[in-house]
Amino acid sequence: EPEVTQTPSHQVTQMGQEVILRCVPISNHLYFYWYRQILGQKVEFLVSFYNNEISEKSEIFDDQFSVERPDGSNFTLKIRSTKLEDSAMYFCASSPLPSGGAEEQYFGPGTRLTVT
Amino acid sequence: QKEVEQNSGPLSVPEGAIASLNCTYSDRVSQSFFWYRQYSGKSPELIMSIYSNGDKEDGRFTAQLNKASQYVSLLIRDSQPSDSATYLCAVWTGFQKLVFGTGTRLLVSP
């Protein structure tokens, strides 16, 4: 069964460093998302991406964050200058069709980011 | 005002019983509703989706939606210890994102 994959599974970085989290969405999916979950808290939306553009972003997704689909398979989240409060589990998700709403999102296993 | 509300639990049920998980949402224009299961340290796993008022059944799971009351629920029949997890209610608000509740922790005792 196709699945979303993410690398690395765990990333430790120092405050102020740049990190890139990588995702390979399910191959025939067209909508891509990033969510994060701080330990013990709820899953929070960061950004959605379709047709090489950001469709929607949350207030969390400030200028320190960017997303990119550098090739036909990868979808990346970059944090330019990490802060302690960026420590969280980051989930990539994808959905099959562009109509939105009724399309089910499938989540990858996540990358645990630890900022020290 | 919280957009999606769930009782954090834990909800404890004995093996074989029916577990009932509830969720309310604040945005009346919400169109689509999803239940995810999340084991500790793992990612959300989609269990059910529901778009129309009424019941939708899939195996041991039944999702119920009442848009007038802005209420969605998940019933798990014949609960098993392996069902012990946090159940996340997620709502699609039409702005290209899912809004999640905090989740209800379910404990099924053998």
| Residues of chain A contacting residue B100, judged by C-beta atoms under 8 Å apart | 42-44
| Residue A98, pLDDT above cutoff 70 | no
pLDDT at A102: 60
Average pLDDT, chain A: 92
Which residue among A33, A44, A91 sits closest to B43, beta carbon to beta carbon? A91
pLDDT at A72: 78
Beta carbons of A55 and B96 less than 8 Å apart:
yes
| Residue B2, pLDDT above cutoff 70 | no
| Residue B80, pLDDT above cutoff 90 | yes
Cα A78 to Cα A17, A48, A83, B16, B85, distances in angstroms:
11, 14, 13, 46, 31
Q: pLDDT class for B25, splitting at 50, 70, 90?
A: very high
**CB distance A34 to A77 below 8 Å:** yes
Cα A11 to Cα A5, A30, B19, distances in angstroms:
15, 27, 37
Distance (Å) from the C-alpha of residue B74 to the closest C-alpha of chain A? 17
DSSP H or E segment with residue B86: strand B85-92
Which residue among B31, B43, B95 sits closest to A110, beta carbon to beta carbon? B43
| Residues of chain A contacting residue B103, judged by C-beta atoms under 8 Å apart | 42
Chain A residue with minimum CA distance to B31: A101
Q: pLDDT class for A101, splitting at 50, 70, 90?
A: low
What phi and psi values does residue B83 have, to the nearest 5 degrees? -80, -10
Cα B100 to Cα A44, A92, B9, B90, distances in angstroms:
7, 15, 16, 4
